[in-house]
Structure 1
Amino acid sequence: MSTSATARATNGIWLVAEREISSKLRSKAFMISTGILLLLALVGILIGGFTSKNPEATTVAVTSETASVVEALPNVKVTEVTGRDEAEDLLRSEKVETAVLPGDGPTGYTVVALKDAPGSIVSGLSVSPSVEILDPATTNPLLRYFIAIGFGLVFFMAASTFGATIAQSVVEEKQTRVVEVLLSSISPRTLLAGKVIGNTVLAMAQIIALAAIATVGLIVTGQKEVLSSLGAPIIWFAVFFLFGFVLLAALYAAAASMVSRMEDIGSTTTPIMLLVMAPYFLVIFFNDNPLVLTIMSYVPFSAPVGMPMRLFVGEAQWWEPLVSLVILLASCVAAILIGAKIYENSLLRMGTRVKLAEALRG
């Protein structure tokens, strides 16, 4: 290709990309939904952070004999009583959750409750044996679960939202015959590249905005340890998402080019949607399963979720993200080549759905 032809193709790609970006930014529905998403993410992080930092104190009735030992327990609010009768009155009126009174047991205390004794009080006053863990957990299981939901949900929502946008744009241009006008000026591959780049820019902007929101939320709630442990995984998530989305975007565009009506989009894009949904459900249900996470981290469609998750819990070696990224890049190139061929061969074919074999043959 000559220099002038390359320049024309490059200009065409950026013109299409700018058109995709500007049309989205002019959409009130897109801007409102993005704002709501960012607001919900911030509110969720703030509520979770403040709740974990400031759990509600357990109200406990104590006597002068038990006050000192109960006051030494974390997160308790003590009400001193003169004896058992007054403690029971407070329990029945639900002014306190439990009472710690002198007793004849091995600890010298008795825990009295109306229905269920708070586990934190019982464990705090119990005599526990020494514990030795052979294979300690690297992260808090609840935190691990929420981080898994976060990675899975962000990937699922961004990939499905912008993937569907590409598919609808392709079919709309075919249905209105606009594509014929566009192809009189630029090649199908230039049009495809512009659509993929434009929507990738939008998707990455949303990912960066969510990462910034998460960082602000964690700083405000004082969760610096969580933030420091999430730094590298978030960066790797952004890198993997970039190439993973390009792969999916090329497939979405190719699948959509095989139909000519909006009603038929689902018939060709459903398999891709399943590929997008799979990592979300797998990382939620198997976030504590090292084998499943390892497999996910090397499969191109799930690597953007699986590998950052393994990095967060400390189960991945330093070289594994690099190997996984090479596999993803190779898959991305293959998807672009195949997707471009399908797109080029199907874009001007109107009427009935184009079969995959026909689209690949041309």
Structure 2
Amino acid sequence: MSSTRTVQTSTPSRGSAPTGDRASVLSPGGPVWLVAEREIRSRLRSKAFLISTGLLLLAVLASIVIGSIASASASPTKVAVVGGAAAVVHTAGGFDEVAAADVAAAEKLVRDGKVDAAVVPADAQAGTTDATPAVRVIALESAPTDVVSRLSIAPEVTLLKKPTQNPLLSYFVAIGFGLVFFMSAMTFGTTIAQSVVEEKQTRVVEILLSTISARILLAGKVIGNSLLAFAQILATAILASVALMLTGQRSLLSSLGPSVIWFVVFFVFGFVLIAALYAAAAALVSRQEDVGAVTSPVMLLVMAPYFLVIFFNDNPTVLAIMSYVPFSAPVGMPMRIFLGTAQWWEPLVSLVILLATTAVVIVFGARVYSNSLLRTGARVPLKEALRG
């Protein structure tokens, strides 16, 4: 039976820096950044990390290219035409034309989903014989950009319903946000946990704590892995933006842009929260075999937003709740911004809640980490870790 024991070292007092003031500790070249650089170098030397990052970027690029090819090879847009508007549509070419008796009949075809849009004379008179009359485009929820761009004149657009996002597009955007957050948080969170336990198991931590404090070590680990996670997310966002531009999907980029920017902002603070929890949980054990047991609650917090946004991406109530819960806000709020259901002030309120929660979790995690790091043997109970 293993027993818990505390290794006595010349560790600096809790919360104090070993040398210099707090500014020097956090400055470039200080102990926090030395630990962060060590974490970054060890991850960049890992083939598994480089391969997983490459696969993530390739998956994003492939999905955009496949979507572009599918849209380019799609069947011609089906439009209903009324009276003299048929001449304009026929001149533009590239449409599957469906004749309608009058404007009311054309609107019914649009509402029933039998056509993508309707092109009618602007004066709503079906019997006009003008060869090039002014026309009006009728659509269901959003202006059909392909129809408007092909017509030789700039038509008026009438929408029959309040604009909403395409359900299929919303589903894939939900998968994208959820999957990127899930993969990045799991990859780097697990890395932090394994690093903490490895240092305890090999007694390297005893050497480290003779020079720097436990909180500085924790800060360096969190900052180093957070910077790598941010770089991965930023690279994914930039690659997706460039790919959408090069494949001619600028309209999709313009609708996705604000939500992607907010996703990056929320991820920055959301990952720090997750990283602190992973490090604190891992400090409770001394063997790699026990890491899964202590980090499983944190893993559930990471997995929950992924599954919730996939199954409830069309449920405004669930998304609203997700957008204010700190652990799911990095996925829920950007999704609501994309769907257009969030008021302008809601992302700011959600971000403040996330920042406050992150600060509390960092204090909690630092206490557990500091009080458990030198205790080897059996798993340290959370109550004892909090008491110190």
TM-score w.r.t. the length of structure 1 is 0.79
Give the conservation status (yes or no) of the 8 Å contact 1:9–1:186. Answer: no
- Three-state SS of the structure 2 residue aligned to 1:4 is coil
Q: Number of paired residues?
A: 310
Paired residue for 2:95? 74
Change in CA separation of 1:285 and 1:181 when aligned onto 2, cut-off 3 Å: same
* Greater shift in the superposed pair: 344-353 or 2-11: 2-11
Q: Taking every aligned residue pair, what percent have the same amino acid on both sides?
A: 65
* Greater shift in the superposed pair: 324-333 or 220-229: 220-229
How far is the alpha carbon of 1:8 from its aligned partner? 5.2
Paired residue for 1:103? none
Give the conservation status (yes or no) of the 8 Å contact 1:38–1:210. Answer: yes
CA distance in 2, matches of 1:6, 1:57: 65
Change in CA separation of 1:33 and 1:139 when aligned onto 2, cut-off 3 Å: same
Q: 1:123 aligns with which of 114, 118, 122?
A: 114
How far is the alpha carbon of 1:32 from its aligned partner? 1.8
Q: 1:151 aligns with which of 165, 177, 194?
A: 177
Paired residue for 2:33? 14
Paired residue for 2:70? 51
CA distance in 1, matches of 2:161, 2:178: 26
Amino acid at match of 1:6: R
Paired residue for 1:355? 381
Amino acid at match of 1:24: R
TM-superposition CA deviations, 1:167-188 (whole Å, max 9, x none): 0000000000000000000000
1:42 aligns with 2:61: yes
Give the conservation status (yes or no) of the 8 Å contact 1:73–1:124. Answer: no
CA distance in 1, matches of 2:140, 2:46: 58
Amino acid at match of 1:123: K
1:219 aligns with 2:210: no
Paired residue for 2:12? none
Gaps of 5+ in 2: 1-15, 78-86, 102-112, 119-137, 142-159
- Three-state SS of the structure 1 residue aligned to 2:174 is helix
1:5 aligns with 2:21: yes
Q: How does 1:200-279 map to 2 (within 5 A)?
A: 200-279=226-305
TM-superposition CA deviations, 1:229-256 (whole Å, max 9, x none): 1111111111100000000000000000
- Three-state SS of the structure 2 residue aligned to 1:55 is coil
CA distance in 2, matches of 1:173, 1:306: 36
1:165 aligns with 2:191: yes
* Greater shift in the superposed pair: 276-285 or 40-49: 40-49
| CA RMSD across the alignment | 2.9
CA distance in 1, matches of 2:307, 2:161: 26
Q: 1:180 aligns with which of 198, 206, 212?
A: 206
CA distance in 2, matches of 1:131, 1:329: 42
Amino acid at match of 2:244: L
- Three-state SS of the structure 1 residue aligned to 2:20 is helix
* Structure with the largest fraction of helix: 1
How far is the alpha carbon of 1:34 from its aligned partner? 1.0
Give the conservation status (yes or no) of the 8 Å contact 2:76–2:94. Answer: no
How far is the alpha carbon of 1:6 from its aligned partner? 2.1
Amino acid at match of 1:25: L
Give the conservation status (yes or no) of the 8 Å contact 2:277–2:361. Answer: yes
How far is the alpha carbon of 1:135 from its aligned partner? 5.8
